[in-house]
């Protein structure tokens, strides 16, 4: 194992770059669902998800969002800023789906009156519980003002991506973000933005990981369509 190795997750490997200044994220061909209960390896997945992440983060950078993205290193790596990650998943929902419907009822695809932000605490043993802003402060994860800043950033970022996809006649239903603090002390968007981390639909057709979660066919065919849209964003 390289002495630059930092971390290996279910779908990514994180290492310090050769010059020691940044990190290199390697996107694996693994796909998982249900807390890792379902797991497969799909050829080209790492390429699709890394290039989609690179191009969408590049788009966000040009719109003034602080993202980790520095360079795309084909076929399946990204050079990114070093971040101190905050152990939260930040979900923005435009429509009801997934765990929202399981928890509160309603119909998949029903509009929410306004974008809704929710936090889950990243903890495998606790199965990523839903947490409120006041819990975050008590748990010492982030204080109220940082939580409010994250909510504002997440809504703005999700709106920008919703607009981008709607230009290509796709509907963004929901999306998950992960944030960290960069070396300047600013909140910075990290991790991944891909069909693994959002619900993306077009005329009732599914272009995201729900294809895999629900065994509806080969997800990679649809991920490739999403990549082709993202290729309108120049790197
Ligand atoms: P959510 O509906 O909460 O979860 P599930 O897919 O388990 O029903 O997910 C909302 C969005 O956030 C969805 O597009 C998937 C994404 N997400 C992740 O990428 N990782 C996660 O760990 C979770 C919980 C959600």
At 67, the pLDDT band (50, 70, 90 cuts) reads: very high
176 lines ligand 1 (CB under 6 A): yes
Looking at residue 1, its pLDDT comes to 60
How far is it, in rounded angstroms, from Cα 9 to Cα 3? 17
Nearest atom (ligand 1) to Cα of 118: 3
Ligand 1 centroid from CA 101, angstroms: 12
52 contacts 195 by C-beta, under 8 angstroms: yes
91 lines ligand 1 (CB under 6 A): yes
Name residues whose C-beta falls within 8 Å of residue 164's C-beta, 6 or more positions apart in sequence: 56, 59
Q: 52, exposed or middle or buried, with CB in 10 Å at 0-12, 13-18, 19+?
A: buried
220 lines ligand 1 (CB under 6 A): no
68 contacts 189 by C-beta, under 8 angstroms: yes
Residue nearest to atom 2 of ligand 1 (CA): 98
Is the model's pLDDT at 131 over the cut of 80? yes
At 2, the pLDDT band (50, 70, 90 cuts) reads: confident
CA distances from 108 to 21, 102, 123, 208 (A): 44, 10, 27, 14
Residue nearest to atom 8 of ligand 1 (CA): 98
Looking at residue 179, its pLDDT comes to 98
> How many residues make up the chain in this entry?
235
55 contacts 177 by C-beta, under 8 angstroms: no
Average pLDDT over residues 66-79: 98
5-80: what CATH class? alpha beta
Ligand 1 centroid from CA 202, angstroms: 19
* Average predicted confidence (pLDDT) for the chain: 97
87 lines ligand 1 (CB under 6 A): no
Looking at residue 36, its pLDDT comes to 83
At 107, the pLDDT band (50, 70, 90 cuts) reads: very high
143 contacts 180 by C-beta, under 8 angstroms: no
Mutate which of 12, 91, 112, 190 for ligand 1? The one with the most ligand atoms within 8 Å of its CB, which is: 91
Is the model's pLDDT at 102 over the cut of 90? yes
Average pLDDT over residues 218-235: 98
How remote is the C-alpha of 215 from its chain's centroid? Answer: 21
At 35, the pLDDT band (50, 70, 90 cuts) reads: confident
How far is it, in rounded angstroms, from Cα 122 to Cα 196? 17
Nearest atom (ligand 1) to Cα of 101: 2
At 98, the pLDDT band (50, 70, 90 cuts) reads: very high
Architecture in CATH of 84-219: 2-Layer Sandwich (3.30)
Domain boundaries of the chain, sorted by first residue:
5-80, 84-219
Looking at residue 159, its pLDDT comes to 98
How far is it, in rounded angstroms, from Cα 59 to Cα 235? 9
Looking at residue 156, its pLDDT comes to 98
Average pLDDT over residues 214-233: 98
101 lines ligand 1 (CB under 6 A): no
* More confident site: 115 or 2: 115
Average pLDDT over residues 186-210: 98
CA distances from 191 to 96, 107, 111, 114 (A): 24, 29, 27, 25
């Amino acid at each position: 194992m390289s002495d630059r190795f930092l971390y290996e997750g279910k779908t990514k490997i994180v290492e310090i770059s050769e010059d020691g200044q940044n990190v290199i994220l390697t996107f694996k061909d693994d796909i998982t669902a249900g807390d890792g209960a379902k797991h497969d390896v799909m050829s080209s997945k790492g390429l699709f998800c890394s290039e989609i992440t690179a191009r969408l983060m590049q788009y966000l950078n040009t719109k003034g969002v602080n993202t980790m993205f520095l360079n795309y290193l084909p076929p399946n790596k990204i050079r990114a800023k070093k971040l101190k990650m905050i152990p939260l998943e930040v979900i923005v929902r435009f429509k009801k789906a997934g765990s929202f419907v399981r928890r509160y009822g309603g119909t998949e695809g029903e509009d929410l009156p306004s974008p809704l932000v929710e936090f889950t605490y990243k903890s495998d043993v606790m199965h990523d519980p839903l947490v409120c802003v006041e819990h975050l402060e008590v748990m010492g994860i982030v204080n109220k003002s940082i939580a409010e800043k994250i909510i504002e950033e997440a809504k703005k970022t999700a709106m920008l991506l919703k607009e981008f996809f709607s230009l290509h006649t796709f509907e963004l239903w929901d999306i998950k973000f992960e944030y960290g603090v960069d070396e300047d002390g600013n909140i910075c968007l990290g991790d991944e933005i891909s069909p693994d981390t959002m619900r993306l639909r077009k005329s009732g057709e599914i272009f995201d990981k729900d294809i895999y979660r629900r065994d509806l066919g080969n997800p990679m065919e649809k991920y490739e369509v999403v990549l082709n849209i993202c290729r309108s964003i120049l790197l």
